[in-house]
Homo-oligomer: A and B are copies of this chain.
Amino acid sequence: MPLEERYLTSLMVRYNGHCLLIDCGEGTQLAIRKCGWGFKAIDAILFTHFHADHIAGLPGLLLTIGNSDRIKPLFIYGPPGIRSIVQGLCMICGGLPYEVYVCELNIKDNNGQIFNIENIPDLEISALKVDHRICCYAYSINLKRAGKFDANRAKLKNIPIKYWSRLQKGEIIKDSGNIWQPEDVLGKPRKGIKVTYCTDTRPIPDIAQFAQSSDLFICEGMYGDDEKLQSAIEKKHMLFSEAAKLAKNAQVKELWLTHYSPSVDDPQEYIPKIKNIFPNIIAGDNGMKKEINFIDE
């Protein structure tokens, strides 16, 4: 349930003028506004599952996006059933000034399944079916990074300079009988950026595989107290310590905990105890932000 002092869990990924939102509970639009971000650039919304704390804010958000003069289409992704849920919730949305396209994902593979978001093609998204009371997905957002452009190789192959940037962007160039491939001029792919968002699930081992080497792993932690294990199992949620173990096994750079039970007054108090499982752990809080950049090797 939404609390005055704690927004519901969601993630906004901003990349190159695009915004991608994962989950939208009651009040998420307030959280976005408080960050000082606009609404117009929200190109896509992904839903993990259909519990109200993750989706009830959708109609209000779509209307607010409408008030921001967006006219470009917006894409919504989620588990099977998303189309009728969006239709139901949006009965109160009247005529939005932009198109909303809804894509039902049907994830079966235990290793996650890859797809692209229609209007943010640079981002590669993976979805994994996790273990909650209803069908629920974790999402990984991958921004790949091509290899370094080797001007010497381009010169040796007599590739006209006007094609260099297109090759760098991954395009194959055909010109007067010549065919140049990006791999002719690019080094081996460099490390990209990976962010994994995983909430409302038991800590199944697939998650560690799925989140492997994430720069940022945002994971639910329902209870700080290990004695609440039985409740966590019944409600299909996690202990903080279980999230820390996943982070360790996934060898992520950083773990942010979120989605606390209302019974957890101060998540901070449990952090020191689990730092021995995984050291780089942060108790998520309202409006937490992080800028992640490519690292030059």
Interface residues of A (CB under 8 A from B): 1-4, 25-27, 29-30, 33-34, 50-53, 55-57, 59-60, 63-64, 67, 84-85, 87-94
Contact = CB atoms under 8 A, between A and B. Distances in A.
A108 to B, nearest CB: 24
A29 to B, nearest CB: 7
A56 B64 CA distance: 13
B51 A92 contact: yes
Given A25-B60, A56-B59, 11 more contacts: A1-B29, A2-B27, A3-B33, A4-B34, A26-B60, A27-B27, A51-B94, A56-B57, A84-B91, A85-B91, A88-B92
Contacts of A90: 88
Nearest to A53: B60
Nearest to A31: B4
A50 B92 contact: yes
Main DSSP-derived SS at the A contact region: helix
Nearest to A54: B92
Contacts of A25: 60
A91 B91 contact: no
A92 B56 contact: yes
A30 B2 contact: yes
Contacts of A92: 50-52, 55-56, 85, 88-89
Nearest to A51: B92
User: Quick one: copies of this chain in the complex?
Assistant: 2
Contacts of A52: 59-60, 63, 92-93
Contacts of A94: 51
A26 B57 contact: yes
A133 to B, nearest CB: 9
Pick the 9 closest A-B CB pairs, nearest first: A88-B88, A88-B91, A26-B60, A52-B92, A56-B60, A56-B59, A52-B59, A52-B63, A85-B91
A55 B34 CA distance: 23
23 contacts: A1-B60, A1-B63, A1-B64, A2-B29, A2-B60, A3-B33, A4-B33, A4-B34, A26-B29, A26-B57, A27-B27, A51-B92, A52-B60, A52-B63, A52-B92, A55-B92, A56-B56, A87-B88, A88-B88, A88-B89, A88-B90, A88-B91, A88-B92
A60 B56 CA distance: 7
A91 B85 CA distance: 6
Nearest to A84: B91
Contacts of A3: 30, 33
Contacts of A53: 60
Contacts of A1: 29, 60, 63-64, 67
User: Which among A26, A64, A90 has the highest number of chain B CB atoms within 10 Å?
Assistant: A26
